[in-house]
Each structure stands twice: as structure tokens, then as C-alpha cells.
């Protein structure tokens, strides 16, 4: 069997978190399948980049280093990855479900005519029996994701095509160094052989990437609001509690869609995945795509007027009440009884 | 000025944002019939961008292309009511079960039939799958560049289009020669409302299948007003290779679907009285959950 490969993204000379998380997952999948872990990195000035990657257990690092290859552009990156995959025929290929990964992976899947599953929340190895064809497929990648607005959880497989491709959002997998002394092999790709002249037709005129100021992902306490919060103004209460407790404010997709809170604070399958010590869900009903982004929280407190809200079923504490009543009481008690 | 030829890809989707209790059947599967069918929201953002180009560059035409069952003709009508010029419905039982790859194959064949065009525009993703794959896959199959997550089309000049993109953590402005495919982000302006004039003009726009179920006088009306014809394309019309369609053309298979059942865990249920809140906060502080 061939190897597992991870497409690694780079921003300002650093490999981004989601790529390191995928390398960690890729390493464990490779171990299960008894194959090697490969990585591909495309950009400019990539001297020494292997030092950031080897510790995550990368055996073979494919590098395409050319001034034209950073910042990211769809066509040259797609050409390089497609051609590389045709040569080394990976068993599994993983991409971050980022602006880049979600732009790139489908283009590659189309070129290679292989299956791609977006926004997986879990990746496992398993066996599949096709009863019609009377065929057993061993060691397939089970790509598990919520579907249909989060009302079902689907396990997707690609029995016949390779690589089995999947994208995963940042924060879904854990990032873990395998060994600081792990050593892989660097393979430099001759860029001219992988790109076409017409791949460089797009010109980047202007680019502003902000360092994410909001650090919801690493916050230990998250106060999150849903559509039930009722208005943008009512979110002020959540910000106040977060401020008092030293936490961050997040929101459900419904709250983002309603314009109560900005998109970068969205928690759930199509937003950020979090695992805080404490998650306070205010006026969130608990659709599964939201749950997918927060159910690993150590403690969940739900505040909801509806005792039947599904969120209550995964909560440690379900407060049946109005956030306008409950949050000020929490803030008041905390201010009075600490420091 | 000759204007530009724009194709807008649009999808009719179940409104998964408003899934009520009746949306689940007794056996735990999704009851699609109970969900209202709507114009995929980001495809409406894409339509608006196309209509703005039509406003700005006289002579520009906007053609809608959708794939789905017969009732998806509603999407074309909805687009005509807002200012699109015409529309095509790709429909055939043989398309059933198509994943994103098979879908993009069918759509790319239809788009090739509409060549030459300057732009294909579509929403970033559809709310029933949230995959964001069909746009880039169509672009790859036609071998044209793609610009994803467009928020604003700044200008078209000398065959090149300037687009502002919305990224996760920032914005990027790019210039690309036409033809190309653009996916539009939900942060772009909402689509304009239906226009009363177009509503009257296209009220009777129908597919051939729909017309046959209609009355005699309606068929006569259509001869007089060919713009009321919503054209249907089947597998044969597209000369599609059936091995690339439907279930056989879809590399991804659904192995298992399971209806979401929340893991039952005993939640401690509290009211919102002062005493209950004080006890809870006291416990959280003592257990170092906070503080």
C-alpha cells in the first residue's frame, strides 16, 4: 500500500496549525496502515522548512520552492499537487478545510477523478463489504461528517479511487509532536516540470491577511450565543460575562446569519472547533453542526428558555431561564466573590 | 459595447436552516418533502453580482443553469423575475445519486454547450452539503481559472476582471483574464428583489415538460413568445458518457448514515433564581472551572 500525504499550508514562513494537526492525524493513520507519512509544501524561500515538519513524523517531504509560488494561487499549486499525486499515487491525501484547502482540493479531485469529502469531523480506518459486487475492501478511509444541515452523520468512503481525499477544519484534530529528533527525507521538486506557463495568469494586486486577533480556539472559557439571544445588543451581556471570567465570545451559525455576531466567532462544523474547560451556551438550541464544534468541552452549561432544547441533552447543567436574567446574576456573584 | 456573456449556476436546495420536528420521519430519516425548496442563498449572491455587471456593461446577458428534478425550474423562474435573460434545466433520472464530481461533469458539459462565454458565476457552496466543491470542479473540467470567495467585482477592463476575495483572515484583490469561474461568498450583497415588470413578462415561463401538462391556449402563447421557454437538457442532449454520471460516476459512496441522536447524559436542571445561580457559581469557582 502507498503512503498517506498531507498538503501543508504556509503563512509568513510558518506552517499553519491545521496542517500540523493533519500531520498528527496522518501519522496515526499511516501507523495503522503500516505505511509512511508524506507531506508536500509549496511556496518560496523554503530553506530549512523541514525542521518545522519532521517532528510531526514526516518521512518524505516534497518541496516546490519558487518565488512565484507564494502567496498561494490555485492553478500552479493544483498543477504541482495533481502531477505529484499521479507520480507517487498516495493512498490518502489530507487538506485543511481552509480558504486554500477548500479552493485547491476540489480542483485536484476533479483532475484525478477521485472522491473528496469536505469538512470531516473524524477519520478512521475500516473495512467495507460491497454486497452487490461481493467484494471486501480492507483498510478504507472512513470519512465521517455531519450532512444535510447537520441532521445526519454520514460515513463516506471511496472504494475504488485513489487517493482518498478529505478536508478537515482547524482545531478538529489534535496537534502532537511525535519526536523532536524524528528525521525524514527532503525531496526537491523541479518546479518547471510541474507547472504550465498559463498557470500564472492570475495576478495578486493586493493582499491583507490579519493575524487572528480573536483567539477563541485557545480560550479556556467560551460564552457562546445562538439565535435565541435575540439581538446584537443582547450579545453585549455575553461579552460582559466573557470579560469578567477571562473568556471569549462565540456564536452559532444562526447567530452569525442573523448578524448578531461576526463570522470569525462562529463555532461549529462550518466554523471553529473548540475544546474549552467551560462552555456556556446561551440561547443555542444545539443543532448537531454546532455540537460538532463544541461537544468536547470539559463542561457545558446551557441557558435556554426551552427545557426541550437538544443542547440540554449534552449539557452538564441546563439552566431553564432567560439570559437577560441569568447572565447578570452570574456576573454579579463572580464580581462579589472573587479577588 | 458588446457586453459579456455570463452563466450563473444555481441550485435548488432543501432549506436545512429551518429543520423542524416534522422534517424527520418516524424511522429517523430525513423527510425531504417536508422541507421547503429554496434558491441556494449564496447562488443568489452570485446572481446579484451577475446582474450588477449586466447593469454596468450594456449588452451583457445572464443565463441561469441548474440541475435537478423538474421542480427545479422554479429556480430559473426566480432568476428571470430578478433580471436574468434565460435559463436551462439539466434534468434526467440518470443524474440521480451524483456526487460533486459527477455533478460537475454534467454541469461542465452544459457550460461547454453554451460556449463562448466570459464568466461562470456560482455561490461558494450550497447549504445542503456545504462542500464548496462543484465550482472549482467545473472550472477544472472546462480548464479555465477559478477565483473563489468573491465579495466584489471591481471592474472588467481589456478582457481582465478585478475581484476582491474574502478569505478566512483577510481580503485579497486579484486580476484574472476571462473566461473564468467565480464563486461568490455570502458576505457579498444580497440579491435584489423580484421586479414587477419581469414578474409579468416571465409569469408563464415553463419547461416543455411543464407545458405539456398545461392547457392548449398556453402552448399557443409560447409560440408567440419564445422567451417563455425554459429549455431542458437530458443526458442525450449533453452527449454525456453515462459512466461518469449518477452513482456509477461518483467515487464517493455513503457507507452509513445515522440520524443524530444526542448522547443522553444527565444534565442537572436548574431554574434562574438567585439561590440556584449563586450555588452554581460557587461550585464553579470551588471546582476551578472559572476563576
Rg of chain A over Cα atoms, rounded to whole angstroms, equals 22
The answer to whether the CB of A160 falls within 8 A of the CB of B251 is yes
Specify the number of domains making up chain A. 2
CB A141 within 8 A of CB A152: no
What cell numbers appear for B69 in the block?
428534478
What is the tens place of the pLDDT at every residue in B14-23? 887 665 556 6
Q: Are residues A53 and A20 in the same domain?
A: yes
Beta bridge partners of B167: B170
Q: What is the pLDDT of residue B263?
A: 43
**CATH at A273:** 3.40.50.1220
Contact B32, B25 (CB under 8 A): no
Instruction: For residue B264, list chain A residues with Cβ-Cβ distance below 8 A.
Output: 313
Tell me which H or E stretch contains A80: helix A74-88
User: What average pLDDT score do residues B69-86 get?
Assistant: 97
What residues contact residue A292 under an 8 Å CB cut-off, 6+ apart? A121, A146, A150, A268, A269, A273
Q: What is the pLDDT of residue B268?
A: 87
Domain assignment present for residue A209? The answer is: no
The C-alpha cell at A221 is 472559557
Residue with cell 515538519: A53
Please check whether residues A14 and A56 belong to one and the same domain.
Answer: yes
Query: Rounded distance, CA A282 to CA A265, Å?
Result: 14
Cα separation, B286 vs A26, whole angstroms: 40
* Tens digit of each residue's pLDDT (9 = 90 or more) over B191-231: 999 999 999 999 989 998 888 887 666 667 777 888 999 99
The answer to whether the CB atoms of A154 and B131 lie below 8 A apart is no
Residue A337: the pLDDT is 86
- The answer as to whether A211 is a domain residue is no
Q: Is A269 on the interface with B (CB under 8 A)?
A: yes
What's the CATH code of the domain at A32?
Answer: 3.40.50.620
Unique residue bearing C-alpha cell 450550497? B126
Q: Are residues A166 and A284 in the same domain?
A: no
State the smallest CA–CA distance between residue A140 and chain B in angstroms: 11
- A135 and A252 share a domain? no
**C-beta atoms of A110 and B141 within 8 A:** yes
Domain ranges, residue A321: 221-337
CB A170 within 8 A of CB A9: no
Q: Which of B136, B255, B262 is opposite residue A155, by nearest beta carbon?
A: B255
DSSP 3-state assignment of A328?
helix
Nearest to B165 by CA among B189, B139, B191, B147: B147
- For chain B, what's the residue count? 291
One domain, residues A58 and A116 = yes
Phi, psi of A44 (to 5 degrees): -125, 160
d(CA A293, nearest CA chain B) in Å: 14
Restricting to A residues 184-243, those with a Cβ less than 8 Å away from any Cβ of B are 201-212, 221
Do residue A193 and residue A68 come from a single domain? yes
Check CB contact of A258 with chain B, cutoff 8 Å.
no
Same domain, A50 and A154: yes
Question: Which of A148, A162, A164 has the most B C-beta neighbours within 10 Å, making it the best mutation to test the interface with B?
Answer: A148
* Strand bridging mode B268-270 / A10-11: unpaired
- Flag whether B140 is in a domain: yes
Tell me which residue in B135, B137, B253 faces A159 most closely, judged by beta carbons.
B253
Residue A263 touches chain B, beta carbons under 8 Å: yes
Q: State how many domains chain B has.
A: 1
- Residue A207 included in any domain: no
Regarding whether A161 and A40 lie in a shared domain, the answer is yes
**Domain housing B196:** 5-244
Question: What's CA B86's distance to the chain center, in Å?
Answer: 17
* Contact between A115 and B19 using a beta-carbon 8 Å cutoff: no
Q: Is residue A210 part of a domain?
A: no
B262 confidence band (pLDDT: 50, 70, 90): very low
Residue B125 belongs to some domain of the structure: yes
Counting as low any pLDDT under 70, the low residues of chain A are 149-151, 211-214, 339
The full 3-state SS of A185-244, as one line of letters, equals EEEECCHHHCCCHHHHCCEEEEEEECCCCCCCCCCCEEEEECHHHCCCCCHHHHHHHHHH
Nearest chain B residue to A207 by CA distance is B172
Strands A278-282 and A221-225: parallel
Q: Are residues A79 and A164 in the same domain?
A: yes
Q: Are A238 and A252 in contact (CB under 8 A)?
A: no
**A194 vs A62: CA distance, rounded Å:** 12
- pLDDT score for B27: 54
Choosing from A200, A234, A259, the residue where a domain stops is: A200
Contact B270 A317 (CB under 8 A): yes
In a domain, residue B249? The reply is no
Task: Tell me whether residue B283 is in a domain.
Answer: no
Residue in B148, B252, B291 nearest the CB of A115: B252
Task: Quickly state the pLDDT bin for B189 (edges 50, 70, 90).
Answer: very high
Residues in chain A within 8 Å Cβ distance of B129: 118, 147-148
* DSSP states along B195-248: -HHHHHHTTT-EEHHHHHTS-HHHHHHHHH-GGGEEEEE-TTTTT--GGGSTTT
Other CB atoms within a 10 A radius of the CB of residue B125 amount to: 26
Rounded Cα distance, A109 and A103, in Å:
11
Of B3, B7, B68, residue with least CA distance to B37? B68
Which of B99, B174, B250 has its CB closest to that of A205? B174
Taking only residues 133 to 172 of chain A, the set having a beta carbon closer than 8 angstroms to any beta carbon of chain B reads 142, 146-161
Give chain B's mean pLDDT. Answer: 90
Pair A141, A240 in one domain: no
- My answer on whether A196 and A96 are in the same domain is yes
d(CA A239, nearest CA chain B) in Å: 16
Mean pLDDT for the stretch of residues B238-259 = 91
Q: Is residue B29 part of a domain?
A: yes
Contact A140, B256 (CB under 8 A): no
User: Of A194-198, A298-302, B107-111, B132-136, which range is least confident?
Assistant: A298-302
> Do A89 and A119 fall into the same domain?
yes
A330 preceded by cis ω (within 30°)? Answer: no
In this predicted structure, what is the pLDDT of residue B176? 98
Pairwise CA distance, residues B228 & B77, whole Å: 10
CATH of the domain at B51: 3.40.50.620
CA distance B87 to B78: 10
Amino acid at each position: 500500500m502507498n503512503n498517506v500525504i498531507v498538503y501543508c499550508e504556509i503563512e509568513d514562513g510558518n506552517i499553519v496549525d491545521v496542517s500540523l494537526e493533519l500531520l498528527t492525524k496522518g501519522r496515526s493513520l499511516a501507523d495503522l496502515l503500516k505505511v509512511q507519512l508524506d507531506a508536500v509544501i509549496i511556496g518560496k524561500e523554503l530553506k530549512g522548512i523541514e525542521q518545522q515538519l519532521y517532528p510531526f513524523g514526516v518521512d518524505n517531504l516534497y518541496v516546490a520552492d519558487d518565488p512565484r509560488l507564494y502567496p498561494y494561487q490555485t492553478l500552479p499549486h493544483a498543477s504541482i499537487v495533481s502531477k505529484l499525486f499521479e507520480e507517487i499515487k498516495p493512498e490518502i491525501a489530507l487538506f485543511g478545510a481552509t480558504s486554500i484547502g477548500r479552493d485547491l482540493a476540489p480542483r485536484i479531485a476533479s483532475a484525478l477523478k477521485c472522491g473528496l469529502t469536505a469538512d470531516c469531523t473524524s477519520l478512521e480506518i475500516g473495512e467495507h463489504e460491497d454486497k452487490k459486487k461481493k467484494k471486501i475492501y480492507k483498510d478504507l478511509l472512513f470519512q465521517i461528517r455531519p450532512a444535510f444541515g447537520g441532521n445526519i452523520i454520514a460515513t463516506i468512503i471511496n472504494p475504488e479511487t485513489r487517493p482518498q481525499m478529505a478536508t478537515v477544519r482547524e482545531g478538529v484534530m489534535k496537534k502532537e509532536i511525535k519526536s523532536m529528533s524524528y528525521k525524514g527525507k527532503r525531496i526537491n521538486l523541479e518546479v518547471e516540470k510541474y507547472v504550465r506557463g498559463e498557470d500564472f495568469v492570475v495576478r495578486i494586486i493586493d493582499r491583507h491577511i490579519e493575524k487572528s486577533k480573536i483567539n477563541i480556539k485557545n480560550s479556556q472559557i467560551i460564552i457562546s450565543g445562538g439565535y435565541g439571544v435575540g439581538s446584537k445588543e443582547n450579545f453585549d451581556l455575553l461579552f460582559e460575562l466573557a470579560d469578567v471570567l477571562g473568556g471569549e465570545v462565540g456564536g452559532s451559525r444562526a447567530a452569525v446569519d442573523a448578524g448578531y455576531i461576526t463570522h470569525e466567532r462562529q463555532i461549529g462544523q462550518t466554523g471553529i472547533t473548540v475544546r474549552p474547560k467551560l462552555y456556556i451556551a446561551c440561547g443555542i438550541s444545539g443543532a448537531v453542526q454546532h455540537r460538532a464544534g463544541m461537544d468536547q468541552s470539559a463542561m457545558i452549561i446551557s441557558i435556554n428558555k426551552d427545557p426541550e432544547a437538544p443542547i440540554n441533552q449534552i449539557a452538564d447543567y441546563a439552566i431553564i431561564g432567560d439570559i437577560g436574567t441569568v447572565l447578570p446574576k452570574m456576573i454579579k456573584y463572580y464580581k462579589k466573590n472573587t479577588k | 459595447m458588446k457586453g459579456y456573456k455570463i452563466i450563473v449556476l444555481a441550485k435548488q436546495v432543501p432549506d436545512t436552516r429551518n429543520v423542524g420536528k416534522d422534517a424527520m420521519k418516524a424511522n429517523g430519516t430525513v423527510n425531504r418533502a417536508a422541507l421547503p425548496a429554496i434558491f441556494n442563498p449564496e447562488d443568489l449572491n452570485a446572481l446579484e453580482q451577475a446582474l450588477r455587471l449586466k447593469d454596468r456593461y450594456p449588452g451583457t446577458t445572464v443565463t441561469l443553469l441548474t440541475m435537478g428534478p423538474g421542480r427545479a425550474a422554479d429556480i430559473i423562474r426566480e432568476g428571470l423575475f430578478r433580471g436574468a435573460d434565460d435559463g436551462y434545466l439539466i434534468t434526467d433520472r440518470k443524474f440521480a445519486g451524483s456526487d460533486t464530481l459527477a455533478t460537475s461533469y454534467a454541469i461542465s458539459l452544459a457550460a461547454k454547450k453554451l460556449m463562448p462565454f466570459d464568466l461562470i458565476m456560482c455561490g461558494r457552496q450550497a447549504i445542503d452539503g456545504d462542500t464548496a466543491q462543484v465550482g472549482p470542479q467545473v472550472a477544472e473540467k472546462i480548464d479555465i481559472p477559478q477565483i473563489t470567495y468573491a465579495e466584489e467585482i471591481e471592474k472588467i477592463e481589456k478582457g481582465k476582471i478585478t475581484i476582491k476575495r474574502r478569505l478566512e483572515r483577510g481580503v485579497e484583490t486579484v486580476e484574472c483574464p476571462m473566461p473564468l469561474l467565480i464563486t461568490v461568498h455570502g458576505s457579498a450583497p444580497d440579491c435584489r428583489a423580484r421586479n414587477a415588470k419581469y414578474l409579468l413578462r416571465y409569469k408563464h415561463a415553463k419547461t416543455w415538460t411543464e407545458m405539456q401538462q398545461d392547457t392548449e391556449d398556453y402552448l399557443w402563447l409560447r409560440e408567440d413568445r419564445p422567451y417563455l421557454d425554459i429549455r431542458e437538457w437530458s443526458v442525450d442532449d449533453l452527449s454525456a458518457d453515462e459512466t461518469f454520471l449518477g452513482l456509477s460516476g461518483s467515487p464517493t459512496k455513503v457507507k452509513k448514515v445515522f440520524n443524530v441522536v444526542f448522547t443522553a447524559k444527565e444534565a442537572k436542571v436548574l431554574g434562574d433564581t438567585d439561590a440556584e445561580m449563586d450555588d452554581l457559581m460557587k461550585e464553579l469557582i470551588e471546582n476551578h472551572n472559572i476563576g
